[in-house]
Structure 1
Amino acid sequence: MFGDQQRGWWGVDFGASSVKAAQLRRSRTGYKLHTALIPRSLDHAAPLYRLRQSELAALRALQPAFCGTIAAAGVSMRDCTLNANDSADENAEGTAMEGTTTDTWGDAASSYALSISLAEVEAICEGFDRDGLRCETVDGAPTAIARALQMIGRTAPNELVIGLDWGRHSATLVAAQAGYARYARQLRLGGIAELIVNVAEMLELSVVEADRAVLKYGCLATEGTGAIVSQAVRNTLAKAPAELTRTVAHLEGKLRTKSPRRWVLMGAGGVTPGIKEYLAQKLGVSVEVWTPQGVERSETDTPICLFGPAIALSALRWEESE
């Protein structure tokens, strides 16, 4: 029983093109990342049911790396909807839709509802059940990212923070406050994989060669071959500031507040050199790569910023028990 209290749930994040799994373990000083795995990534975005079938099979083979039999799952932005219901807005969107399961939070003045297809939730739970696991909860990207943002620490009370989860095949922006999502949008940026394909075409490289070059140089290099690669990356990123600026303006109108100055970068964007600095310069904000406070790294070489939602889902084990 003591061991069960020391380890978190399996945190399983179903992204657009991969499944990421992580498990925390409590230590005397905080938490330790016990396991973090990406079984396999697809070279394109895939339907959630396909990911469930293929990636859960891979997780089964890796199951000895995990402890326990309880999981918390998260789905991407395309598989859920976040609605705001503002009592001052006579045309506010409804907070419940037929055929969905809905989680609500907020107060009488401003409440929020996250809706996920009931059929998808049931299918995910059944998939875990077939592998001898129990799925305790299914979360959506907005709430999982919001929980991850709460783990960075150093936030003022009621501070609104933006999380930009820029993955291989999609990008999601979430504004969160005290662990709760207040705004979410899937951006029209494409993912880092699209950036790599564009760089490959510009420089007449194979996609594999471009992938390696972008990961090595990003948009920071100023000399030699690296400078050529970085210029191609910056050219590809040129439309991103305008999309993010439009999204921030929409956020300000929806929330009736000034845009947050603190941004946190997750996903593949967080491991691409120079994207953090590029966004900070173009948007005039503070940008940091997601790093959870009080979490000791495991021996894995995989960057921790790839696992923000998965780690936050694993930590739900203690939130539910406290």
Structure 2
Amino acid sequence: MEGFIRALPKVELHLHIEGTLAPEMMYEMAKRNQVTLPYQTVADVRAAYEFSDLPSFFSLYNLGISVLRTEQDFYDLTWAYLECCKNDHVLHTEISFDPQLHTRRGVAFATVVNGILRALQAGYSTLGISNRLIMCFQRDLSEQDALETLQQAMPYKDKIIAVGLDSSEQENPLEKFTQVFEMARQAGFLTVAHAGEYGPVANIWSAIEQLQVSRVDHGIRCTDDDELVEHLVSSRTPLTVCPLSNVKLGVFSKMSEHNIAALLERGVCVTINSDDPAYCGGYMTDNFMAVANAFKLSKPEMAKFSWNAIEASFLIPDEKTALQARLQHYLDLNFRPII
């Protein structure tokens, strides 16, 4: 199974590029940009990544954000992630970025997006990894702030496929972003949103009905409502689930308690993703292996996550067909009858 999963063609749909900042890169970028960290060595930084709760995660995450200053920083960050994709046989990735985390501290929107885009273009031309870019709004900030960010994104409409909504669900209802999401849809952006991770199942309904999302990021609380699960199945509304992140951040106490296998069995278009892999325990192969080991799923069942991800991606139909053909070729090789 491990060999099968390692070489399995994969598609990632829920990845925060800021969450790929490895301890070594945080340390080196801090030196490069003369940012003072409360750590003396790389080993000290690495030890800090063993956080135990959500507040300590956000504290460390924000510290990591502080070392990202230049276009080259965002290029290097994205390129390092794409090299991990190549190693994990990720054929296509849809990367989220959070411009408000950077513009609020004086880093220009163009600095962020141009660095990411340069790396994505290089990743496609040299590594063969296709991509789409998603811009997320911070739900703990105001809708006015989101509207200003949307205006900054307008010159990049042909480079940014969708807008999303992330950060804490607590006391930050999706409803306050209905206007900016409507404006984004009118401008031609697709929409996604984090919902039903820590927040209640009602947040998932709001994302679908009010923000009109194409897919739900996380969405694991859907099993609290059978009607919602039936809707997800019948509408093929995808869930971009992040197993290792869910366990690391305490949504589930251990992987065997996760509901991802049950969702797959019920016919939900559920996918496996890595979320903030540098902080949350691993990249795509690590997440696939964690699920396979916890639930003893078969190879065809594990491959279904990749098939679902191709279906749920923002690729055009011909591109999806090409990826499906590559996945099917891999499965044909692995399930060829032995004579």
What TM-score do the two structures reach when normalised by structure 1? 0.30
Question: Whose strand proportion is higher, 1 or 2?
Answer: 1
Structure 2-normalised TM-score? 0.29
Structure with more helix by fraction: 2
